[in-house]
Chain A
Amino acid sequence: MCSLPERLRGVVLALTLAASAASQASLDLSFDRLQAPALTLEQVSVSLQALDRGPARLRIVRARIAGRELSDLRLDCTEFSIHPEVRCRGGVLHVRGQEPWRLEFALTGAQRTLEARVQPPGSPPIDIEGALAGAHPHLRLRTRAADLVRLMALDPALQTAVAAYAPAGRVDVDAQLHDFGAGRSVQIDARVDLHDARFSSADGLRGAEGMALGIDIRARADGARWNGDLSADWRAGELLWDAVYLKGGGTALTSRFAVDAGQLTLTNGALDLAQVGRLSFSADWGRSATGAPALHSARIEGRAFDLEALNARFIAPLSAVHGWPALTLSGRADIALSVDAQGPETARLQLHGVALADAAGRWSMDRVDADLPWQREQPTAPRATVAGAHFGRIPLGPFELRAALSSDRVSIEPVRIPVLDAGLRLNQLEFVQDDGRWRGDLAFDLEPVSMSALSEALGLPRMAGSFAASVPGVRWRDGVLALDGQMLIRVFDGYVAATGLKLVEPFGTTPRVLADLQMRYIDLEALTDTVKFGRVTGRLDGDVTGLELLRWRPVAFDAHIRSSQGDYPRVISQRAVQNITALGGPGAAAAIQRSFLGFFERFGYRRIGLSCVLRDGVCEMDGLGNKGGGFVLIEGGGVPALSVVGYNRRVDWPELLDRLSRVTGSAPVVR
């Protein structure tokens, strides 16, 4: 009698042996149900042409293999034998709705040792070997360069889930299944190597190319739950995910996991980012009320991240995409983030010895140590110490910032920031969210800074006196920084007052400054000494109305300067006269003869007056009054008296700036 597999506990319904002739025997077997671990076959019928090594046909009405149900299976073997082992050679498996699969197998001995080779259509063969029975049943499944698309087609739910990303690639699989069967905990040990893998979203903003990824999974079943370890090593390829572009190599992930139908938990997770550092994480997904997967909680922590590498790989590319200014960064950072079902719950950024600078060189901060906590429900108190900073060419000394942070308010405690030989007293800096919009308020005083220190820092000629400013209130509303009232700057023994000062979109494409300026009682001697213009003694008042700077350059103003009222010495040097004359260009002339000028070093004057109305790059000039087709810039008085008359009323503004830099930059020689 033929030996039926002992472990195939089936019920033999009918067995007919129809031996027609001695030379040929045919056998028909039917089984109501055959069961093995992870395998149930129903209504199985076997037709043999011969008892040994003849063709055979198996029909299975319904099969359940590893939880997957198939119907109407037919296996045709060109050479089938039952004894001493169940063997099928040259088999072709037909499954309804699918192309035929090649299948060969042999099942031997008491342990039901299995050797099989399955070849799905268009795919490389899958080798399966192991023992289905005995004390340690096991199966090993191996395939090389299998088509990822065809593999995913085996799981229609997975295929649908990732269809929008059109994944493709080749996969090597080496998977082992241990200890399956009733009363045992199944264990999986799998190595999956993905190569030449790619995917792309329809808009092309999420995609990967040339991916090589190795994944190791070890897991053991505990009832309906799986517990295990996962590790993934991204060896090569490039990945774009919205604004983040990454190149593979050195990026690895490991985690413990537990998963069942309703929950996925990751613990002891670690993500190694090449050169940047290691993120540790844990996360817990469940199902929302609608049954969709939902993140319940997550914790992410990173220590001693290298900010230079982080900037190069993540921050700088993100800034470029959003059009934000590029930064240079170095130092270390610790980061921590916790998320619950409502979203981010707490976050903390700690900086250690960080150097931070605008890539364009406009500002920098050195040795920043900071603890910046944030909590969704609670106010926090961030603080930072800065060892030194630069704003433009102005160096700032060490300072410490203490802030109060809540969901709708950020404020900084009053602080004194050393600036050169003085200090900037920040009396108020506060941002408040109101109706979904952020508005800010700022107030500060600048203690008197010596002009000599300031001019040296700015790379200007050394100046005398001091510079101080008082700014009682600046408001930030909808991209406009506006000064309340007046900003007063004390300079050259007089003052400059700015009113109506507005900065429109200072960080935007076209920053614009609007202001009106009043200058009063400016000491000309101190001014002309410092700008190396040639000495002029006297006092000056000025008004600049409708001043408009675009991208920090003047594009419009009405400027009038004139001698202050009052009694004071009024003397102008020969060199200053020459320079004023040079400013007027070739058309301007001193109203005295050169020969006469040569006799005197200094001249008396009664009044100085000059106006410039800047529009469309042209300065429309005027003076104290008209004289012989020109306009009087300096009206002579005393002995020796001197008048200067200008004749060129329309001066190209860039040309005027050029002349001004020439006369102040290099000392003219008066012969």
Chain B
Amino acid sequence: MNALKRIALLAALVASAAWAQGNLEINTPAISQIKSGMQARHAQLAPHYASGAVGLGADGAVALRDASAVPLAQRQAVQGLVAQENADRAALYREIARANGHPEWEADIRNTFAQRWIERAQPGWYVQSGGQWSRK
């Protein structure tokens, strides 16, 4: 259980850092690199969270839930952003599990992060629960 508490704490820290540009550090270079990539991308994704085009999935990934909120010509680009973000998120969960010496924690870390991302989502963003999307 201690292990899971540590993961939860870690999730809180990384989630804060990735979104709020906080000074909290997760001390592996891999995690820092992934995090900075996600921070850079966040500015591009934020308007799509706000419009509801992209939502925060229950599985710790982001999803293109309503592409029609984006002009036709830009939908491909948003699909690309979502694909890159999810690749980074998967790498983040894997790296945290690895950095803690427990690669088998990856699924737990993913679940913990999924909850944290959703808790930290801004009002108006879409979040997924039990397969259903709702507006926060």
Contacts and interface: CB of A to CB of B under 8 A. Distances in A.
Interface of A: 200, 203-205, 207-209, 238, 240, 243, 245, 317, 320-323, 508-510, 512, 550-551, 553, 555, 616-617
Interface in B25-48: 27-30, 33-34, 37
Nearest to A203: B67
B76 A510 contact: no
A243 B76 contact: yes
B13 interface: no
Given A510-B30, A510-B33, A510-B34, A323 B68 contact: no
B48 to A, nearest CB: 12
B70 interface: yes
A551 B88 CA distance: 13
B87 interface: yes
A204 B70 contact: yes
Given A207-B68, A550-B33, A510 B91 contact: yes
Contacts, number: 70
A124 B73 CA distance: 32
Contacts of B65: 203
A107 to B, nearest CB: 48
Contact of A509 (B34, B67, B69, B73): B34
Given A203-B67, A205-B75, A323 B29 contact: no
A204 B69 CA distance: 8
B73 A245 contact: yes
Q: How large is the interface on B (under 10, 10 to 19, 20 to 34, 35 or more residues)?
A: 20 to 34
B129 interface: no
A240 B72 contact: yes
Contacts of A550: 29-30, 33
Contacts of A508: 87, 91
A317 to B, nearest CB: 5
Contacts of A317: 76
A663 to B, nearest CB: 25
A322 B80 CA distance: 6
B63 to A, nearest CB: 10
Contact of A321 (B29, B37, B76): B76
Which of A203, A204, A208, A243 neighbours the largest number of chain B CB atoms within 10 Å of its CB? A204
Which of A200, A208, A550, A617 neighbours the largest number of chain B CB atoms within 10 Å of its CB? A550
Which of B66, B68, B79, B90 neighbours the largest number of chain A CB atoms within 10 Å of its CB? B79
B21 interface: no
Interface string B53-78: 00000000000111111101101110
Contact of B75 (A204, A509, A616, A617): A204
A457 B27 CA distance: 37
B75 A323 contact: no
Contact of B76 (A320, A551, A555, A617): A320
A240 B75 contact: yes
Contact of B66 (A204, A320, A551): A204
